[in-house]
Structures are given as structure tokens and as C-alpha cells.
Amino acid sequence: MAERSGDGGAWLPERRQGSRPLWIALGAASAAGALAGALLVVAGAATPAEPGRGLGALTSVEVGVALALAASCFFGVAAVALRLGIALPLRQLAAEARFAAEAGAERAIEPGRHRWLAPVPAAVAELAGALASGRRAHAAAIEAATRGAAEQRNRLETILRDLSEGVLVCTLDHRVLLYNRSALSLLRSAGEVGLGRSIFNAVAREPVLHALERILHASEPAGEVAGTCSVVCATADASRLLHGRIALTRGEDGEATGYVLTLADATREVEALAARDRAMRELADGMRRPVANLAAAAETLGAFPGMPEAQRAAFDAVVQREGGALVACLERYDGAARGLGGGHWPLADVLSIDVFRLAARRAAEEGGPEITPIGLPLWLHADSQSLVVALARLATRVAEAVGVDAVDVEATAGDASAYVDIAWTGAPVPSATLDAWLAEPLAGALGAATPGDVLLRHGSAAWSQALGDGRSRLRTPLPMAASPAPRDAPASPALPARPEFYDFDLPAAAVAGGDRLLRRMEFVVFDTEPTTGLKASAGDEIVSIGAVRVVNGRILTGETFSRLVNPGRPIPPGSIRFHGITDAMVADAPPAAVVLPQLRAFCEGAVLVAHNAAFDMTFLRMKEAESGAVFDMPVLDTLLVSAFLHPDIVDHDLDAIAARLGVRIEGRHTALGDAMATAAVFVALVDLLDRRGTTTLDQLLRSSRMAMELRARARQF
Amino acid sequence: MAASVLIVDDEPNIVLSLEFLMRQDGHEVRVARDGDAALAAVAERVPDLVLLDVMMPGRDGYEVCQAIRANPACARTRIVMLTARSREVEREKGLAMGADDYVTKPFSTRALVERVREMLAAGHG
């Protein structure tokens, strides 16, 4: 047995070493065991009992026992070998494979450790590898698809949010899948609008069903936009009339999956149309009777000149009374028509500077004059495209007639409307000449028109008048936008006042060119927004700069400088509400070192102006070494100018000064908006200075310095 | 001394009434049927007041108004525009062009006579 165990035990260390194939060891062990068993049986049978008997004398029982022993030895060893060599490694491999499957751990399986089972572990490892790389590709694909979907969703959300039309996406059983803000505000009063709810909670059922039927069962797609249909319907509570379109949404197989309904409020248009119809009818009906009576009385009087005096008096009374009735009828109609507004031409809110820029480009293309937009931008309610064409044409005609090659355009706010003025140096345009221009055909304006038609669409007229100073203007009143704030303007928060800064480096001595007249000088009015939105504390940086040129007392609206600046540090979240600029917005913006030289170039030859200028100058000077942009020109401060002009008033906040000077400023939420507002205030201040005898730059710098010293001293008490 | 009133209108049916009413009120009246005749009348002798129709063939009322305002000799001449255009913007245009008042047709004859009397009194006062 010792031998057997020795033989049998021989593979154990080998297994640990893993150096010999399993089957050789197994075979050897089995053979050795069987041989040893057989020998023992043979020896036991021959030696004591019948010593003379050879091998050939072995009984069949002995052989059987020997064989059985050998077999049991073989199976015993084989079982151990199988367990250690195959079952355990297999279990291990299975666990590793499961781990690989669950966790995606590619390296969990090492083929080298399972030699006995080779090439299975290698194959499994390969499989795990393929699985892992498949998973990576899958994950990447999902990420890309998610990103794409998110982008598309963002785009769609933007479109939906900004559309003034209400948009509802519905299933074929009329449940709402998606709606935008406009839809909500259109339908809110009528009924509940919500995801998964029936659209008929808010919109009348029949017109929608009818339109869908027309699309679904139309024999041929009508026109270009197949699968859509216009719809006029009411809200479910019949409070508003809506008009819009329905379009089917289709799945990949082309089957209709639902529909998109776009809606706009038509109540006003429809009511205006109805009112116009009613007014027209009333005019005709109202006139018929007095006209008949008047005509009959006049004819009778003419036919019978010799009628008795008493009879004649009765006829005179009829003429008077019916004349009065006609006048009343006409006035009623006129009042009604006036209330209906300018007509049905679609107008939209548009910023004056956008119209002016386009008009300037158009005039330039047509060989017209150089058009310079001046003043503060104003929101107009206009047909921008027609207005651009008409303005460019009128400016061109003015230039030809007067013999100038440059005109200014400006929008100013009146009481009821905005005035758009073309101004030039020279005489006013004769009324008849202007009328002829207004009657010329205008190529490129919508709805084949003349400049006069364009003005009529806006309920406007045009006239030319002298301004004094040798200048004249052509004025057209236009409707102002109902709400002065543009749609995307961030709600302007109540800004805490910036601390006042004083810069005692302001030149006390006369500067070069200091004898120039303020009214004839060139200024750049600018504003900066620091990261904190408040004060130039340690580590504070600029996030945006806005500037506008002011030349000869005119704000050159078209010549502005507006840049976001990457501050190179995170923007404190708390300050975003002051300037509305986020880290994401400045991520791709250039740093101050790039922007400041651009600003310096914009300011070339000009005197700088800012409100509380020392504050902004701190930033510019701080960056001088880094950017190489040296701002060494004279600097004026509207705060100090105002303090000089009104020394007894404490509040020299920009809004306060503007209010005092009657300057209307809007859009104060960006650096450029603030620069524009400051420019408007500055121009008004220069006017006031002029009247008070401060006319040159030197005088103003001296006065500013005086005001600053007084103010700084006053603050010490 | 009677004030001189120049009536400028191309429509005889309204001129008939205006001329009668102004004479009746004691003014010295001249009538011009179009813009050119109006300017010729002004050149001949500066009137105290002009009743000026806007819609006329040739030189319209605005142009006549502009020309009268451009003439320094007419600094004291009052101009009342009479027009069949009733839009607010037309009124604004008329006043911007130098008219002293803007009356929309149809108008009350009594109110017009009253208005002219007031303006002439203010002009002489």
C-alpha cells in the first residue's frame, strides 16, 4: 500500500506545480495501482498455501478480486483527480465567467491558470473580452445617442418655448403628449391642460375632429403641405377664438401616431374684422335715410322757388336736421374705424437699431448715402422688412435732393408713438417732393408697395421740417412696442449700488487737446461687469465690457463694442443675478488680455467716459502689464460731472441722473446696455454743461476733479 | 381795422359758406382756388389768417403751409388747416408743418367762426 500511496501521491506536488498534463498522471496512477493490487493478490495466493503453484494456478476468484481492487483504485484516484483537476477549476472558471458577465471585468479570467481545462478558459476569456468591448461600444453608442437626443430635445424645447403660437402634440386618442408655454397661456382659462389629459378639456372637440378627418381621409394631399390642415376653433369654454394648423405625426411604418396642433389667438383679429364689417354696414344704413331726405328736400326747393314762406321754413329745417344727422353718422363711423387700428398688416416688435443697420446696408448697396444710426435703441412695433426698404429709399432720395452723402437716423420715444427721424445738414424737403417719393413704387417691400403704403401700414405719415442749426429732418411716427422690455431680457434685479470710487490720478493739469469743445469731440462711453457684479475686490475679474462711440454729441448706435470676457476663475453663483453671465457663457470667451487691446483700438483718439469711472479704470489699469493695452487717455466720470452740476443733490446714481435730466433709458442689464444708458446721460449732461458755460475738455476735467475732492471730503464726515 | 382772411380751398361748395361766414363776421376776405393762387395772394399782401384746405391738386396745403412759414413776412400770420383727413397722425403732421390749428371736415360753422375770431384777437393783442 505504501508503494501505491507513493505512486498515487506522486502527482500531488506535480498538480501544485501544474507541470504535467492531467491525463498522463491519471493514467500512470491507475496503472500503478492496478498493477500493485494484482501483484499482492497473486503473491498472497501462491506463497503460503501452495508454494509450488505458479501464476497459472491463480483461481478466477483471485483474478476477479484483483481486478476489482485495481478498478476501485483507478476510480478512486480518477475521482480525486477529476475533482481537483476539473470540477474545482471549472467551478472557479464558472465563477470568474459569471463575474465577467455581471461586472464586465475583462481581466477576471486568466487562461494560464486553467491549463488542465485548456483551451476552455482561453475561449471564455476571449468571450469575456468580446463582451466587455461590446459593452463599451454599447455604452459609447448610448452616450452618443443620449447626447444627440438631449441636443435635439434642447433645440425642440427652445423652438417650442420661443414660439408665440401654442403647440400641442397629441396621440390619436387626443391625449396631450407635449405642450409649450404659449399653449398653456392660450388655453389656461378655458380648461386644464396637462400631460396625458384629453385636449378637449381645453379645445372645442368638433373642429379638431373635423380637421383630422379631412387630413386622414383626403383623397389627395392638397398642395405642398400634405398631411396638414388649417383649423379655426374655439376654446372649450368658447371664450376665445383660435386659428392654427393640424399636422399628423407618423411612425416609421408611415402610420399616423398622433398629431401636432399649433394655435394662435384669433379673437382680436376676428373681432376687429367683425367690428369693421359692422361699422361699414352701419355707415351705409345710417347714411341712406338722411341722404334721401336731404336730396328730396333740396330737389323740391329747387323745383318750386315760389313756395310760400311757411312751407319753405319747413324745408329749411329738414335740410338742417338731415345735414346734422349725416355729420353724426360720419363721426360715429370715423370713431369706430379709428378704434380698429391701422389695419391687418402683421407687425412685430423690433429693435430700432436692427432696422437702421439693415437700412444702412441697403442704402450702401444701392449707392445711397451713408446712414449713421444715433441715439438709444428703441423697441418699435413694425413690419421690419418693409420699413428697412422704405427708410433706405427715403434716405437715398433725401441725399440726392439735398446734395449730402451722409444722414443720421434716430428713434425717439414720443407720448403715443416712437418717432423715426432721418436728419441731415441742409434745408427741409418740400412737401410735394416728399409726397412724390412716397408714391414711388418700392421694389423689395412685401406686398408690392410704395413708401407711402409702408407708412400707412404703420398708421403713419411723413413730414420734413427744419431743426435749426442748419439741419433738417424727415419724421415718421411709428407704433412703439407694447412692452418696452425685450422678451429674453433677464428680469432686472434691484441692483445694489456699486461703491463710489475716486481716482486721484485724474489729471489736474491741462491735457493735450484739452481746449477742444466738448460738443465737437469724440468719446467712448463704456462699462465693465466684474465677476462679483459689485466691487473690484481681490481676485475680481471682468466678465463683460460694453462701449459705444459718441461723436459731436451724437450717440453712434451702430458703433458699439460688446464682449464677454473669460475671467479665468469661476463666477460666484450669487453674483450671476447681477450681471446674468454664467461660467458656461464665458467658457469660450477670450481672456481680458485679448479683449482689452481690442477695446483700446476701439477707443483710439477718444476720451473715455464711464459712470463711476474710477471703478472701471481699476480693472483696465490692473491688466495693463498683462494685456499691453494702456488706457492713458483722459477719462470723464458722469457721476462727477453730475455732482459738479448739482452739488446739492446727494444721489448721483445713473438712474437718478437720467430721471433728473428727463433721459429715458432702457435695457440696463448688460455692459453694453449700461454703456448706452451712460452715453445718453452723458450727452444730456454735455448739453447742460454747454448752457452753463463749461464747454471745453479742460474745464470739465478741472470741474470733475473739484467735484471729486468735495465729494470725498464730504464722505469723511 | 378789419382783419384779412385768405380762404384756400378748391371746393366751391365749401368756399361759398366760408366766404359768406367770414364776411358776415366782419373780416376782409380773399379766396384762392389752389396752392399757387394762395402763394400769389400771400405775396401780394400778407393775410392775418389763412383758412387752408390740405387736399388740393398741385401744391397741397402742407406745401403752402411750409412756404408761408418759410416767409419771414408772414411771422404773424395764423394758419388754420381744414382737412377731410381725420387721423391723429395727420393732425400731428399739420401742427409740425407750422399750422396753428387743425380742423377736420365736417365741422360746425359756428365753432369755426368762433375759433377764427379768437385767433385774430390773440394775434392782434
Query: What pLDDT score was predicted for residue A129?
Result: 83
Q: Which chain A residues have a beta carbon less than 8 Å from that of B89?
A: 417, 459-461, 477
Lowest mean pLDDT among A175-189, A415-429, B67-81: A175-189
A431, B60: Cβ pair inside 8 Å? yes
Lowest mean pLDDT among A392-401, A503-512, A635-644: A503-512
Q: Is residue A110 domain-shared with residue A214, that is, in the same domain?
A: no
Chain B: nearest CA to A272, how far in angstroms?
18
A463, B96: Cβ pair inside 8 Å? yes
CATH number, position A679? 3.30.420.10
Nearest to A477 among B63, B66, B92 (CB): B92
Q: Is residue A575 domain-shared with residue A603, that is, in the same domain?
A: yes
Rounded distance, CA A577 to CA A438, Å? Answer: 48
Residue A400 binned pLDDT confidence (cut-offs 50, 70, 90)? very high
pLDDT at A89 over 60: yes
Chain A: nearest CA to B1, how far in angstroms?
34
Q: Is residue A171 domain-shared with residue A212, that is, in the same domain?
A: yes
Lowest mean pLDDT among A510-524, A693-707, B12-26: A510-524
pLDDT at A702 over 50: yes
**Which cell goes with A697?**
475738455
Q: Is residue A372 domain-shared with residue A334, that is, in the same domain?
A: no
Query: What pLDDT score was predicted for residue A619?
Result: 83
* Rounded mean pLDDT, A478-494: 53
Higher pLDDT, A423 or A152: A423
Query: What pLDDT score was predicted for residue A5?
Result: 40
- Would you say A109 and A100 are in contact if contact means Cβ atoms under 8 Å apart? yes
- A79-88, A331-340, A377-386, B66-75: range with highest mean pLDDT: B66-75
Nearest to B63 among A327, A338, A430 (CB): A430
* Rounded mean pLDDT, A512-519: 82
Chain B: nearest CA to A431, how far in angstroms?
5
Interface test with B, best of A431, A435, A455 (most B CBs within 10 A): A431
Query: What pLDDT score was predicted for residue A57?
Result: 59
A477, B62: Cβ pair inside 8 Å? no
Cα–Cα distance list, A221 to A216, A217, B121 (Å):
10, 10, 76
Residue A221 binned pLDDT confidence (cut-offs 50, 70, 90)? very low
Query: What pLDDT score was predicted for residue A65?
Result: 85
Q: How many domains would you assign to chain A?
A: 5
Q: Is residue A529 domain-shared with residue A633, that is, in the same domain?
A: yes
pLDDT at A431 over 60: yes
DSSP strand E in A49-171: where?
166-171
B4-124 classified as CATH 3.90.1150.10: no
Q: Is residue A668 domain-shared with residue A529, that is, in the same domain?
A: yes
A90: Cβ contacts below 8 Å, ≥ 6 apart: A117
Q: What's the pLDDT tens digit per position in A278-321?
A: 888 888 888 888 888 898 898 889 888 888 998 999 999 999 99
Nearest to A461 among B59, B65, B93 (CB): B93
Which one is catalytic: A114, A458, A652, A669?
A: A669
Query: What pLDDT score was predicted for residue A411?
Result: 92
A316, A339, A362 - which closes a domain: A339
Q: What's the pLDDT tens digit per position in A30-84?
A: 566 656 665 665 555 555 545 555 555 567 787 888 888 888 888 888 888 888 7
Q: Is residue A362 domain-shared with residue A238, that is, in the same domain?
A: no
B60, A334: Cβ pair inside 8 Å? no
Share of chain A above pLDDT 70, in %: 81
**DSSP helix/strand/coil, B21:** helix
B93, A430: Cβ pair inside 8 Å? no
Low-confidence ranges of chain B (pLDDT < 70): 124-125
A430, A447, A478 - which closes a domain: A478
Lowest mean pLDDT among A140-144, A223-227, A235-239: A223-227
Chain B: nearest CA to A461, how far in angstroms?
6
B96, A475: Cβ pair inside 8 Å? yes
Rounded distance, CA A580 to CA A667, Å? Answer: 13
* Rounded mean pLDDT, A604-609: 91
Lowest mean pLDDT among A67-81, A445-459, A480-494, A559-573: A480-494
* Rounded mean pLDDT, A654-683: 86
Lowest mean pLDDT among A100-109, A190-199, B69-78: A100-109
Q: Is residue A556 domain-shared with residue A473, that is, in the same domain?
A: no
Residue A112 binned pLDDT confidence (cut-offs 50, 70, 90)? low
Q: Is residue A569 domain-shared with residue A692, that is, in the same domain?
A: yes
β-sheet bridge partners, residue B52: B8, B81
Lowest mean pLDDT among A139-143, A380-384, A693-697: A380-384
Residue A275 domain-assigned? no
Higher pLDDT, A268 or A476: A476
- Helix then strand then coil, in percent of chain A rounded to 5, is 50, 20, 30
Q: Is residue A196 domain-shared with residue A152, that is, in the same domain?
A: no
Residue A102 domain-assigned? yes
Residue A23 binned pLDDT confidence (cut-offs 50, 70, 90)? low
CA-wise closest residue to A486 among A159, A162, A160? A162
Q: Is residue A421 domain-shared with residue A325, that is, in the same domain?
A: no
Rounded distance, CA A63 to CA A38, Å? Answer: 8
Query: What pLDDT score was predicted for residue B4?
Result: 95
CATH number, position A208? 3.30.450.20
Residue A310 domain-assigned? yes
Chain B: which residues have CB within 8 Å of chain A? 59-60, 62-63, 65-66, 86-90, 92-93, 96-98, 106
Chain A: nearest CA to B3, how far in angstroms?
29
pLDDT at A705 over 80: yes
Q: Is residue A612 domain-shared with residue A624, that is, in the same domain?
A: yes
Residue A433 domain-assigned? yes
Residue A434 domain-assigned? yes
Q: Which chain A residues have a beta carbon less than 8 Å from that of B65?
A: 431
B86, A430: Cβ pair inside 8 Å? no
Query: What pLDDT score was predicted for residue A343?
Result: 54
For residue A466, what is the nearest residue in chain B, using CA coordinates? B97
For residue B64, what is the nearest residue in chain A, using CA coordinates? A431
Q: What's the domain range around A397?
A: 348-478
Average model confidence (pLDDT) across chain A? 80
A174 an active-site residue?
no
Interface test with B, best of A458, A463, A475 (most B CBs within 10 A): A463
* Rounded mean pLDDT, A126-146: 87
Residue A387 domain-assigned? yes
Residue A523 binned pLDDT confidence (cut-offs 50, 70, 90)? very high
pLDDT at A489 over 60: no
Share of chain A above pLDDT 90, in %: 17
Rounded distance, CA B100 to CA B108, Å? Answer: 18
* pTM, rounded to two decimals: 0.58
CA angle A681, A687, A690 (to 5 degrees): 140
Q: Which chain A residues have a beta carbon less than 8 Å from that of B96?
A: 463, 465, 475
Can the peptide bond before residue A451 be classed as cis, meaning omega within 30 degrees of 0? Answer: no
Chain A: nearest CA to B87, how far in angstroms?
8
Residue A215 domain-assigned? yes
**Which cell goes with B8?**
384756400
For residue A328, what is the nearest residue in chain B, using CA coordinates? B106
Indicate the domain borders of chain B: 4-124
Rounded distance, CA A421 to CA A409, Å? Answer: 6
Chain A: which residues have CB within 8 Å of chain B? 326-327, 330, 334, 338, 416-417, 428, 430-432, 435, 459-463, 465, 475, 477
Q: Which chain B residues have a beta carbon less than 8 Å from that of A430?
A: 63, 66
Residue A589 domain-assigned? yes
